[in-house]
Amino acid sequence: MSEIQVREWPELGELTICVVQSIKSNGAYVRLEEFGDRQGFIFIGEVASGWIKNIRSYVREGQRIVCKVTRVREDRESVDLSLKAVSEERRRTRIQQWKDEQKAHRLIDVVNERAGTNEPKEHIQILTEIFGSLHQAFEEIAVNEQAFAEQDLSGDWIEHFHKVAFENIIPEQVIIDGFLELISVAPNGVDAIKDVLEQVEKLCDEEKEIFVTARYDGAPQYRVVVTAPDFEAAESIWAEIEATMTSPVDGFTAKATRA
């Protein structure tokens, strides 16, 4: 697996992944999973709210937990942590983020193998800086294959990166946007345009989590946004939109163009 960039210390207030190493009467020592061999300590009062009769009822050796950094003591090479300050929702979200990043680094190895080069590994840091995380970079290019070009990133490895992302990353939503060019010189032109826009928005299907919006974007253009749970559904809706544009009437023309 490609090497994950290890930061030296977490920031104050950051939620960090920890593994419980040893449990004492006054708290628990943990390893900071994302910071090499750095160690942290959870005082017993920060393990859970209220009086704690037995700390082992709340944590155990080898357990992976999420803690909030309450103090960074660089001179003692340790941090103070709080387990009770992390809600169950935030814990699940942070664990999922960590798992996603682990997966992203495994996918980088696949990219590297297919491209036959170590070049993708050299881009991990810059991709993280641009997109916030390596997994987010995979998500961005899975949705938009031009995402890297927009960030002025180039190279033969990008084609492999995009294919790996498309095969392995399933975003929560897929968004396709484009423009309708609607021109009418007929007496009932306004009504004809309204009819087209209504046909487009009728493609919405809330049960399937498919949403379509069409908004005026400056004559003669209307911006259309299709939101769907997957690529197949989004592309299908866009095909229907294009089909709607292929039947112009006298004095009226319509054209759909992807953004």
Fold (CATH) for 174-258: Alpha-Beta Plaits (3.30.70)
The CA distances from residue 52 to 41, 59, 125, in Å, are 17, 12, 43
Give 133-181 pLDDT, tens digit per residue: 899 899 888 877 788 888 888 788 888 898 899 888 876 677 888 887 7
89-168: CATH number: 1.10.150
Contacts of 3 (CB under 8 A, 6+ apart): 121
Fold (CATH) for 15-86: OB fold (Dihydrolipoamide Acetyltransferase, E2P) (2.40.50)
Give 23-63 pLDDT, tens digit per residue: 999 999 999 998 887 899 999 999 999 899 899 999 999 99
Does pLDDT of 244 surpass 90? Answer: no
pLDDT, position 2: 52
Q: Is pTM beyond 0.75 here? A: no
Q: Domain spans of the chain?
A: 15-86, 89-168, 174-258
